[in-house]
């Protein structure tokens, strides 16, 4: 296949977060959603929501990596927080407070949270025309359950969630949901729910994000060749390594070096943090948090770099129940104590309670040489000097590393991960 026929996939990322709400219930009459509630105008994004998403993302990642050391991890804080924020519209009392605290949204009321996420989503979707970013939300409700109109309308208005009522006893219901996921992840995830649902399932809340970005300057495929990648366990693998020498934003930290690679006009960027050979990834991650992350990003500056990095394609899947409970959301998973009374009128329904049964998260990422050529969005100033310029800084990613994708306009972290084996 020639290059014209090959789809651009310099960086492809997609993920899907799904929450499954369970209840013991009988068949009830459906209360249809007739129209979207007229809500407040969606204005500029709230910095507190972005800050909360960053803090939540690093706490979520840290909790995951405690149980998955020396394994590939790739998550999206934004996807998980969006799915939880939709669910938050149905929570009340201690459950609402626990979810708010877990999402690091303390001090914001429900209206501010909804408006904040709506503004953030709207801003992200009108970003770089050379970068494809879609953020889709949906609610799949069991027919016969009289959900509060206000719960459905808030999610339809602020999150632009598609609301669908399905007969979960019909085998085609799961196919319908999975087809939506398949479409909104560009075919990368074909299945997020099982062929048959739990008979007590009353609701699925799903978020799907798809990202496709072309490097601002693509790598030359003719320079890619196999080279050694040193795994944490001491084994060595031969993997295809891409090569490029140019000026990059670069930072030399304590026992690590970091680099930033731009997509499109430079608003969206990949950040790679590589521990020094005498250190290791776990040591670096022990010192990683949202505050240090922001501090490090402020220290990047232009340097001539000789970059060598692996091509890789990864799939990741995780049930987040234990992780979210460890972060303080345990009451939302408790069949006895969970309070989702803003989701449906519990006092009128013949079931004991509503609670979260499962939070599933799936991702995919592929990084290679391809991309579209585009004029650089930033210019590089060259200062005349009388002596020869220093040689480029070597940056060879031949051992486990940390990476993140960030929208630099809103400062939103879209993806976080570690690659310990680029060829699993």
The verdict on 384 and 335 lying in the same domain is no
Question: DSSP H helical segments within 10-75, as ranges?
Answer: 47-67
Band of pLDDT at residue 213, cut at 50, 70 and 90: confident
The residues facing 403 across adjacent strands are 272, 417
Q: Are residues 280 and 208 in the same domain?
A: no
My answer on whether 264 and 383 are in the same domain is: yes
Angle between helices 110-125 and 77-88 (to 10 degrees): 140
pTM > 0.85: yes
Q: Percentage of the chain with pLDDT > 70?
A: 82
Residue 371 lies in a domain: no
Is the model's pLDDT at 3 over the cut of 60? no
Domain count of the chain? 2
Structural domain that includes position 50: 8-213+314-365
128 and 197 share a domain? Answer: yes
Whether residue 325 sits in one domain with residue 291: no
For the cut 50, the answer to whether the pLDDT of residue 383 exceeds it is no
Torsion of CA 222, 301, 123, 121, to 10 degrees: 80
Q: What is the mean pLDDT of residues 129-144?
A: 86
SS3 184: helix
Q: In this structure, is residue 2 part of a structural domain? A: no
One domain for residues 270 and 383: yes
List, for residues 303-360, the tens digit of each pLDDT value: 999 999 999 988 888 889 999 999 999 999 998 899 999 998 877 655 678 888 888 8
Q: Are residues 229 and 357 in the same domain?
A: no
Q: Check whether residue 171 and residue 241 sit in a common domain.
A: no
Residue 1 lies inside a defined structural domain of this protein: no
pLDDT at 309: 95
Q: Does one domain contain both 169 and 40? A: yes
Q: What is the pLDDT of residues 155-187, one digit of tens each?
A: 999 999 999 998 888 888 888 988 888 888 887
Task: Compute the mean pLDDT over every residue in the chain, rounded to the nearest whole number.
Answer: 82
Answer yes or no: do 66 and 13 share one domain. yes
Q: What is the CATH number of the domain that holds 253?
A: 2.30.39.10
For residue 380, pLDDT beyond 50: no
Q: Which residue has the higher pLDDT, 40 or 3?
A: 40
């Amino acid at each position: 296949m020639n290059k014209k026929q090959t789809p651009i996939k310099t960086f492809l990322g997609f993920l899907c977060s799904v929450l499954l709400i369970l209840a013991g219930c009988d068949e009830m009459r459906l209360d249809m959603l007739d129209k979207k509630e007229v809500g407040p105008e969606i204005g500029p994004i709230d910095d507190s929501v972005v800050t909360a998403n960053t803090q939540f993302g690093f706490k979520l990642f840290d909790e995951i990596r405690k149980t998955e050391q020396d394994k590939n991890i790739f998550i999206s804080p934004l996807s998980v927080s969006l799915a939880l924020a939709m669910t938050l519209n149905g929570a009340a009392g201690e459950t609402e407070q626990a979810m708010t605290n877990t999402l690091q949204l303390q001090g914001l009321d429900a209206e501010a949270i909804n408006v904040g996420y709506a503004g953030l989503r709207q801003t992200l979707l009108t970003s770089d025309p050379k970068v494809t970013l879609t953020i889709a939300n949906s609610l799949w409700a069991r027919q016969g359950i009289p959900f509060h109109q206000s719960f459905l309308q808030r999610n339809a208005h602020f999150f632009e969630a598609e609301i669908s009522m399905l007969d979960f006893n019909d085998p085609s219901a799961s196919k319908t949901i999975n087809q939506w996921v398949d479409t909104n992840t560009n075919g990368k995830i074909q299945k997020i729910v099982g062929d048959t649902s739990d008979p007590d399932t009353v609701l699925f809340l799903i978020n799907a994000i798809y990202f496709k970005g072309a490097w601002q300057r693509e790598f030359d495929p003719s320079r890619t060749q196999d080279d050694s990648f040193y795994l944490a366990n001491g084994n060595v693998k031969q993997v295809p390594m891409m090569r490029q020498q140019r000026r990059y934003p670069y930072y030399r930290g304590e026992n690590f070096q970091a680099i930033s690679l731009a997509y499109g006009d430079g608003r969206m960027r990949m950040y790679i943090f590589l521990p020094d050979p005498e250190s290791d990834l776990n040591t670096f991650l022990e010192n990683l948090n949202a505050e240090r992350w922001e501090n490090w990003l402020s220290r990047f500056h232009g340097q001539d770099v000789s970059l060598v990095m692996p091509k890789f394609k990864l799939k990741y899947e995780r049930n987040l129940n234990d992780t979210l409970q460890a972060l303080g959301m345990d009451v939302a998973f408790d069949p006895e104590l969970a309070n989702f009374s803003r989701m449906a009128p519990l006092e009128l329904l013949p079931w004991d309670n509503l609670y979260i049964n499962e939070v599933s998260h799936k991702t995919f990422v592929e990084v290679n040489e391809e991309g579209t050529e585009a004029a650089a969005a930033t210019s590089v100033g060259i200062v005349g000097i009388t002596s020869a310029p220093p040689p480029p800084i070597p940056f060879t990613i031949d051992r486990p590393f940390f990476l993140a994708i960030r929208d630099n306009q809103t400062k939103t972290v879209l993806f976080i991960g570690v690659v310990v084996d680029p060829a699993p």
